[in-house]
Amino acid sequence: MPDSNLTRETLIEANFSAYEMLRTLAADADTATMAEPHPVELLNGTAIETNGQLLAHMLTSHVGFHLAQLSSCRRERGIAALF
């Protein structure tokens, strides 16, 4: 049985809050640090090479992908989709 505390509104608010925190941190990011190679071994050999590119990915497609996953999981359990 789904946790009744995990409402659509709760999940959306948690995602918006985390996203806004990341945006705030990104706005203050050091340019030199953003130009350095990222430390994520899984992404080695991909088009994502620097910390800045990784941050851009995290703030765009990565977040969207996980929201779609979450929405799909909710639909599979008979709960309304997020969007």
61 token code pair: 């497609």
Rg (CA), the chain: 16
**CA distance linking residue 8 with residue 17, whole number of Å:** 14
Which range, of 1-5, 38-42, 72-76, averages the lowest pLDDT?
1-5
Tell which wins on pLDDT, 15 or 26.
26
* pTM score: 0.68
Cα 32 from Cα 79, distance rounded (Å) = 45
Read off the tokens for 24: 């705030």
d(CA 70, CA 11): 9
